[in-house]
């Protein structure tokens, strides 16, 4: 161990920002170390930070998380990065340096979880795999996010959201026949991050309930396992029918009628039925076609799916004669689900978000931006929405928190073990 570290006699103490220190959020006092990039692991740790955990994001001094450079549309910053990294502290460490690695181990001494989504085998090569942590940091919950999980023919492969969505069949269930598509949102990354955060929270609850009992269990979550789970309906249907369902764009092969229809005023309404009773109301009370309601060809959902084209034409004809507001009012009165097709630019000013006060201001290195509150609405509690960190912004403060003096920090910087001093 480097001599300067031998001089550090104080125990690691978590010293979050004053806002977090005063927090009564559920994960206040929990420390998470993250070696993460792109979306899946950052989404996991962002959720933990929203719930009050202190998240220390370890970044390479040479550029950091590569998602920082995807674009520059948010006040000169990348939209992916500012979305997935609020509420974290950025520390730059050169992990090829023994001194930098030793700093990381000092941080892990006081941590509750370690989240990573590096290339396959990278944590093990760094001596930070689950087996390594079990020996040196047994209290830490290791969470490794990867593409395909260990033990299979694809385990060695790099994986990104699109690649896994294609591999898992998700793209084949999206779009149109002969025109597969990736869902616009990074479903594989986001859902994997959420499963990972849920796993950490569950293990923390178990630890609090049962007390310490040996080394913390290791968690491994793969994008492929996540997406095949999300594809559960499609896989079950095909497994038992032998049929690969044909994607139907803004509709569903599972239910009918269900889809998007143009209205007289140039808008698009989405109408859906999920059971026979709703179909009867749609046919009789909305499009006023009792003949269709009484037709045995449309008696059950399976029947309606088999004859969806005829039903769609009837609904299209009716919607084309009415404005969006009239269609939605009539559907609401009949108890039929409906919505307006919106562009992202329209969602930003959505009156439902404004009426429910869902927007907040979040700090970034280049100024404040608007961001939506986390989805959970919890009585008497508003989840945290901390600032987006600049690269290495918290290096000096975090190192000071583990007893490293200003002189020692300067020496580490001179040795290249940490990144340059942060310039706001």
pLDDT band for position 215 (cuts 50, 70, 90)? confident
**Mean pLDDT for the stretch of residues 75-97:** 97
Q: Within the chain, which residue ranges are assigned CATH 3.40.50.10540?
A: 18-232+359-415
| CB environment 101-112: b (16+ within 10 A), e (fewer) | bbbbebbbebbb
**What is the structure's pLDDT at 157?**
92
pLDDT one-digit tens code per residue, 269-289: 999 899 999 999 999 999 999
**What is the structure's pLDDT at 210?**
86
**Mean pLDDT for the stretch of residues 51-70:** 97
CB 143 within 8 A of CB 222: no
Query: What topology is assigned to 18-232+359-415 in CATH?
Result: Rossmann fold (3.40.50)
**What is the structure's pLDDT at 211?**
80
pLDDT band for position 8 (cuts 50, 70, 90)? very low
What's the rounded Cα separation, in Å, for the pair 417 and 226? 36
What CATH superfamily is the domain 258-340? formyl-coa transferase, domain 3 (3.30.1540.10)
Residue 65 pLDDT greater than 80, yes or no: yes
**What is the structure's pLDDT at 331?**
97
Q: Within the chain, which residue ranges are assigned CATH 3.30.1540.10?
A: 258-340
Q: Is the backbone of residue 56 left (phi > 0), alpha (psi -120 to 50) or beta?
A: beta
CB 315 within 8 A of CB 272: no
pLDDT one-digit tens code per residue, 297-313: 999 999 999 999 999 99
pLDDT one-digit tens code per residue, 354-392: 999 999 999 999 999 999 999 999 999 999 999 999 999
Specify the 3-state DSSP secondary structure of 143: strand
Residue 50 pLDDT greater than 80, yes or no: yes
């Amino acid at each position: 161990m480097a001599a300067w570290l031998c001089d550090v006699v104080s125990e690691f103490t978590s010293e979050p920002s004053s806002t977090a220190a005063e927090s009564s959020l559920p994960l206040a006092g929990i420390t998470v170390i993250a070696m993460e990039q792109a979306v899946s692991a950052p989404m996991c740790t962002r959720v933990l930070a929203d719930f009050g955990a202190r998240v220390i994001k370890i970044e390479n001094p040479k550029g950091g998380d590569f998602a920082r450079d995807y674009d520059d549309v948010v006040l000169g910053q990348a939209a992916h990065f500012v979305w997935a990294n609020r509420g974290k502290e950025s520390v730059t460490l050169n992990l090829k340096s023994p001194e930098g690695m030793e700093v990381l181990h000092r941080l892990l001494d006081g941590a509750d979880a370690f989240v990573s989504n590096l290339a396959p085998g990278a944590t093990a090569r760094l001596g930070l795999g689950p087996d390594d942590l079990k020996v040196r940091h047994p209290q830490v919950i290791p969470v490794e996010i990867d593409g395909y999980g260990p033990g299979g023919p694809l385990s060695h492969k790099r994986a990104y959201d699109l690649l896994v969505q294609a591999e898992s069949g998700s793209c084949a269930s999206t779009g149109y026949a002969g025109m597969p598509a990736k869902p616009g949102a990074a479903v594989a990354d986001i859902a994997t991050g959420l499963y990972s955060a849920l796993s950490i929270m569950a293990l923390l609850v178990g630890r609090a309930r049962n007390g310490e009992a040996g080394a913390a269990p290791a968690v491994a979550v793969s994008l492929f396992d996540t997406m095949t789970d999300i594809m559960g309906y499609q896989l079950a249907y095909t497994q038992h029918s032998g049929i690969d369902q044909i994607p139907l764009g803004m509709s569903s092969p599972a239910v009918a009628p269900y889809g998007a229809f143009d209205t007289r005023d140039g808008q698009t309404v989405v109408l859906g039925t999920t059971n026979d009773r709703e179909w009867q109301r749609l046919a009789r009370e909305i499009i006023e076609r009792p003949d269709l309601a009484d037709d045995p060809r449309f008696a059950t959902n399976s029947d309606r799916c088999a004859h969806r084209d005829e039903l769609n034409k009837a609904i299209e004809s009716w919607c084309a004669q009415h404005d969006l507001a009239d269609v939605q009012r009539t559907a609401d009165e009949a108890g039929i689900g409906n919505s307006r097709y919106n562009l992202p630019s329209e969602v930003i000013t959505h009156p439902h978000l404004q009426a429910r006060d869902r927007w907040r201001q979040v700090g970034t290195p280049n100024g404040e931006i608007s961001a939506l509150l986390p989805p959970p609405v919890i009585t008497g509690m508003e989840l945290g929405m901390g600032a987006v960190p600049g690269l290495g912004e918290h290096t000096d403060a975090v190192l000071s928190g583990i007893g490293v003096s200003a002189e020692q920090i300067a020496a580490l910087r001179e040795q290249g073990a940490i990144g340059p001093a942060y310039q706001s």
